[in-house]
Amino acid sequence: MRDESQVYQRQGFGAGLGVQPPIGLLIVDFVNGFADPGTFGGGNIPAAIDRTVGLLATAREQGWPVAHSRIVYADDDSDANIFSTKVPGMLGLKEHSPASAIVDALAPAAGERVVRKNVPSAFFGTDLAPWLTQRGVRTLLVAGCVTSGCVRASVVDAMCWGFRPVVVEDCVGDRAIGPHEASLFDMRQKYADVLSLQALYEQLPS
């Protein structure tokens, strides 16, 4: 990908948002099906899952609100939609399907919200925004997969709802690196801060 950051800088894109408490964490679709290269996974998703284990531990230590999302379609496919028309295999992600279950390493703890969705954004048609607002979240850290799909859609909606999205770039992954890198660039310029895990830790309030 050509370096076109100067064009964006000249036009005033890419201003920083900063990490302002209260902080929350959203983990998007780190489920078995997206961890499996034979289903919907591949690329750098396994590495992103591994790094998110530490981020989730930090969130729990700090007492941040934590939400997880997973794609779940009705057993009878009655909620089939344009997303599943475009990617028919998504209909295999049912409530009790192992592929739709959150990976064991990131299994939700008591009090953490699990959002079920059947479109890319974790916000569309769910109660995620009011759940975060009720808990006072201002900065929303985002991990998950895939960077170019459900992560990006959730980040755009988080911004639209008035949260300050911070994409933790070590903790997001995609089945293909080109779309991953292009989406990080795009989100950094328009919708979110994009920080490494180390840079995030350096910005956390002491």
Catalytic residues, by residue number, are: 150
Question: How far is Cα 39 from Cα 29, in angstroms, rounded to an integer?
Answer: 13
How many Cβ atoms sit within 10 Å of the Cβ of residue 19? 20
| Residue 46: Cβ-neighbour burial (10 angstroms; 0-12, 13-18, 19+) | middle
Cα 124 to chain centroid, rounded: 13
Q: Taking the chain, what is the end-to-end CA distance rounded to the nearest angstrom? A: 37
- Count CB atoms within 10 A of the CB of residue 132: 23
For residue 147, count CB atoms less than 10 angstroms from its CB and return exposed for 0-12, middle for 13-18, buried for 19 or more.
buried
SS3 170: strand
Q: Which residues contact 11 (CB under 8 A, 6 or more apart)?
A: none
Q: Which two tokens stand for residue 82?
A: 């344009």
